[in-house]
Each structure stands twice: as C-alpha cells, then as structure tokens.
Chain A
C-alpha cells in the first residue's frame, strides 16, 4: 500500500520564476492538504483540496494556488517566487468521505530553494 508520494524531491528556482509541486495521496484517500515548513519552524497550512475544490485556506497570498485532479492527486503552484518561499513543502492526505479517517498522513516533502 503506497503512502503519500511527492515530486520532485528537490528543486532550485530563481526569484520571479514559477514552480509546480506534485502530490499523490495514500491509496483510498480523497483529500489533500499542503503545508509549508520553513527552516526551524513547524509546518504551516497552505490549503486543502477535496472533490477538486479548495476547501480551506491558510494565510498565504494568491501567488499560492492549487489543483486537485479526478484521481485525487494534487498540484501546488507558486508564482513570482520570493526568497522567503524557500522551504520544505509537505503534502498530507486523508479521507473525508464515507468512512473517513481521522488522521492526516504526510509525504516526504519537496525541498524548494529560491536563489
């Protein structure tokens, strides 16, 4: 049973560029949440997708956007990258629908470095 997978593992971009990160949820899960973990900090909630719609959103600017596909996988897009966007981006999956679980399972993360 595959857990949460994320790609790529590492990414280096320059300021002003755009980036897309990808996440495949744990088998059987239908909900994907994204978190940003800056160095020395705990993860901060960006947004959550369920049924291909954004269900909740944290305090992140509109430069951060996402998408969920019919197979429940998800993308996180960040436009106009800033140095401060350098962080580990974590994806977490869970099951919101019938028989929902009560735990969010985390992937290994994508390390984004903005130069």
Chain B
C-alpha cells in the first residue's frame, strides 16, 4: 500500500525566507506526485504535479518541487515566501493512472509572519 510522509507538522517563517517542505512516499512502482494547498477558508487547490519527464517541476505562485526517485522524495520549495503563502500544504501520490485514488500526507501548516 502507498503511504506519504510529511515530516514537518508546522513551519513558521518570516517573509522573504526560503521554504522547503519535505515529502517522502513509499511505493515501489511508477507514481504520480502532487502538491495541494489549502488557504484559510478555501478548498484544496493544486499547486503542481509530476507525472514524468523533467524531475524539477514548476507550479503556480513561484513554487517548485523536485522528484528524486532514489530518495522517494518530492520536496516543495519556494525561494522567498510571502505572508499570503500562509496555508496548509499537502503532498499526495497516486499510481495506476492520473485518475486513481490520491494518497495524502498529513499536511504541513505554514505560517509566514510579516
């Protein structure tokens, strides 16, 4: 069975600091990888996704993630965070096709102080 681990439960940063949120998954086969974001009072939105090809994926709002197959990791990065990035971030994985069930991590709450 697939599983996803997000090691940071709560991350607190000041504006302009760099961000890296960890995500590791366990599954031996081919996977699709996603980062979703949930801003306060809003629904889950897709930040970025990786299916194949270039392991460095760029998403919306300046976010990027790197797929490292040997480490089973898909860490999310942003060089300079803003107060508006305060949200909960979820890493997710599926296999067997892009419409197959998503397995989510427990999420990381990011608080950015102005």
Q: Which residues of A contact B (CB under 8 A)?
A: 4, 31, 33, 35, 40-45, 48, 56, 58, 90, 92, 94, 96, 100-109
The stretch that binds A, out of B13-21, B72-80, B101-109, is B101-109
From B105, which residue of chain A is reached at the shortest CB distance? A42
Residues of B within 8 A of A104 (CB): 99, 102
Do the beta carbons of B90 and A33 come within 8 Å of each other? no
Do the beta carbons of A45 and B102 come within 8 Å of each other? yes
Nearest 4 CB-CB pairs, A to B?
Answer: A42-B104, A102-B98, A106-B44, A45-B101
Contacts A90-B43, A90-B44, A108-B43 given; 16 further ones with Cβ under 8 A? A31-B99, A35-B102, A40-B106, A42-B90, A42-B92, A42-B107, A43-B44, A43-B102, A48-B99, A56-B101, A92-B44, A96-B99, A102-B98, A106-B36, A106-B45, A108-B42
In the bound complex, what is the Cα–Cα distance between A58 and B104 (angstroms)? 13
In the bound complex, what is the Cα–Cα distance between A31 and B107 (angstroms)? 25
Report if B51 contacts A (CB, 8 A): yes
Do the beta carbons of B101 and A48 come within 8 Å of each other? yes
CB distance from A92 to the nearest CB of B (A): 8
Which residue of B4, B6, B32, B43 contacts A106 across the interface (Cβ within 8 Å)? B43
In the bound complex, what is the Cα–Cα distance between A102 and B102 (angstroms)? 12
| 11 CB < 8 A contacts A-B | A33-B102, A40-B106, A42-B6, A43-B102, A45-B103, A56-B100, A94-B99, A96-B99, A100-B98, A102-B51, A107-B43
